[in-house]
Every structure is written in structure tokens, then in C-alpha cells.
Structure 1
């Protein structure tokens, strides 16, 4: 999944693709580089971000989605609002990527059910301004697993086809770095729920903190790609259905190498060790 933020304030590429032509060009580039779907978002969900209203979000994403659809590019819409999802689906989107897991807008479940499209339910505890205050866990893996199971159960009860549900652990959303690492290390707890799992660590702050310089300054966003590749490969080797990334080309190359081994569990295993 290639990331396409058409926002002025996203943490990694805010302001770069607010022009429709630039956004469509970038989306086409990501698709040519190997993305299976382009995830178009019109509202930043970085920690501390202010919300925009639905008409603003729709005005940002719909022209881009419509243009990409016309070029035959599969598109998902990154939104937690039912009205935005409806407008995006009408414009040609084929997936709803909901960072709130259906909690921000109770009507989202009926939209997803009626559309019959894949619905990505991310683990979420609150909007950007408050979410880091909610990063309180006794056992983050168990609690995220149980809360995601509840989101899936509620979606199914609302009429969503279970085969259309995808889960996302929500790295960085109401999570401290240690929570992100624990979820990455125990991704099997989430894949064990029986739903596809999307892994989205690309360029996130906890990677920058891991790679901090001698003075403790986090590695800038542009220097986090190798770490992103490592997290993506480890996630796929742990059973993730997909990865959401900014750098599609490098990820596609790394996954091609991974597939060439012929073994989905090759990491840490040699033939002579079996």
C-alpha cells in the first residue's frame, strides 16, 4: 500500500501533494513502482494534529481519487468519516482505511457493509490531539488484540462481511515506542485472530528515536527508510497481509528478494538447521 497524503500538515510529506496534478502524478508513480493500492488521505492523523471538517477532506481527496481511478489505479481512502468514505467510494475508491476502527463515526459500519468493500480497522483510542495521553497498557499485545477483536465483532454485527475485514495494530496511535516494538515482536497474536493484518510503521517517530544520534536527536524522517524496510520485511515474515509505506520501490525490491527465497518463514532459519 503506497501512502499519498494530500494534506498540508502530515508528518512526513505534508504540503508536497496538495496540488491535484502533483498528487495524481505521485500516485501513478507509486503504482508503477509496485504498490497494489494507493492510500489517499486528506486529514493528518499525526500526534497533535488538528482536525479538518468533512467538506475540506472531501475536496482534498475526491479529485485525486477520481483521476487515479480513471487511470486504472486501485485506491483506498484513509478517513474516519462516513461522509468522506461515501464520496471516495463514489469517486472510485475500493477500500476504506479507517484509523479509528469505526469508533469515530458510528455510520461508517453501514457504509462499509453496503459497499461490500474491504474495511481496514485500525486500533485506536482517540483523536490525534489526545491519543498519546491514552497510551496506558498493562499488556499492550493482549489489550490491542482484544480491542481489535471487539472492533471486528462489532463490524460483523453491523453487517460487514467478515472476509472484508482487515486489522491494523495502529503503531504510533496511542502507543509509546515500547508498545510499538512489543506489537511488532508479537504480530502473530494479531494474525491469530484470523483476519488479514496491515502493518504501517513507515517513517514513524519511534524509528527515528531508535536511530537517534549521539546527542539524542531523533533521525530525521528522510533517514528512516532502511529501518522501515526492516520492519516491513519482519512483519511480512510474521504473517502480515500487507505493509503501508511511503517508499514503494525499495519495499517492492526487498519483498522480491524475500519471495525469491521460496520460504515465508526463512528469517532466522537455515535448511541445515531444520
Structure 2
């Protein structure tokens, strides 16, 4: 029986800037992400276009940030830029070493400048007997709006993904109150990697002194192997969020 490990990572990129927007560090982010060995990246606040910043920073890539990061070894990617403004746009992206199928995205925000969206794709790792659904989300910081978005998210997951299909739901839930899991429909059968492995959610924000459990990796239909929150170097000098990483055991 062939066994393979699937590694996933979720990260709020802060549009490629270090905490406080002092330095543009997208190149350093790419190197750090590559070192994690992740097969799938769930990325939030990833910049699609920003004309003023492109002129200001000499190291700003000619391509979108999703395309720039994908060049390091994730051959398949999808970017959804739902936060739109005069200078450009940003949003969410999924990068994968496996081909992405059935890609969809949904704007969860009621305002066009807010980066609150969902990206959904399917991958078919050889060692998994059925397709694996991937959903990347970024929810609102304001409680009443975040609760509304949870209702939309629950409805989408229940309607669009078979109840018995393997699923990884990851992203920035802005869950500073620690109540995100309570808002997910029990019928989804989701578990959170840190809650399962350590009994508590990982503190991811701010990265220099993490106190808030803003980010999550939920899953079902997979065997959790390990989970890690990167708060050491070089991560504390990159985004204002710490990334979450998890590995799952797949059997053919």
C-alpha cells in the first residue's frame, strides 16, 4: 500500500509587506514558503495589481504576486481579486503542485474594497482514492459581518461539496474571539488541526507576539499527521500573521 503525505499551509501575506509596511519582502516570503515543503498554499491578502507600489519598489514583480510565488514550484494556481480600488486589487489564491480542477470563487463581502472571499478548487493526488476539495477563505474582522459570512460559507459548503468528500478549509478567519468553530455547521464534520493535535487553536497574530487565534486549518476525510505554527525566524520579519502548516497521511 502506497502512502504519501500531503502538506498544506495557510498564510495571510499582508500584500508582501513586513509588519508596519516598512519593507517589501515578497522575495523572502517565497523562499520561506518553499522551505516548508508545502504542496498546497492557501493565501490571503495577496496583491494582484497596485500601480503606485509597482513604481515605488524596485523588486516589485512584473507579474501578479500569485504568479510570482507559483514560479518557485507550484505549477497550478488561481487568484481571485475581489478587493478592488483605483490603484489595483488584492484577494485570495490557492497555489498547488497538483492540477486545480473545478475552480470557483465567491465574493463574501458587501463592499467592493473589502478582501473577504472564498476560493474553491479540487485536486486529485494519486494516493487519495477520491478528489480532495480545497477552500481558501478570508472573513471579516467585524463580528456581525463575519457571522453573516459564516452563514454564506456554511450554505456554500453544504450545497456545493458532497458531504462525504475530503475537504480542507483554511484561511484567515479573523477569529479574534475564538468562536469560529461554533459558527461552522456541525453537518460539515470538520475538525481543526491544532484543536485536534494540541487541544487549542494556534495563536497567529501579531506574529511578533502572537495572542490572537485568527487563522485556521479545518479538515475532514484525511488523517492528520502533524501541525505547526511558524512564529520564529524568518517568519516574524515577514507578514504580520504567522502561517499555519499541516501534514496529512494519504493512502492509496
Higher strand share: 2
Q: Which TM bucket (shorter chain)?
A: 0.3 to 0.5
Normalised by the size of structure 2, how large is the TM-score? Answer: 0.44
Higher helix share: 1
Normalised by the size of structure 1, how large is the TM-score? Answer: 0.42
Q: Greater CA radius of gyration, 1 or 2?
A: 1
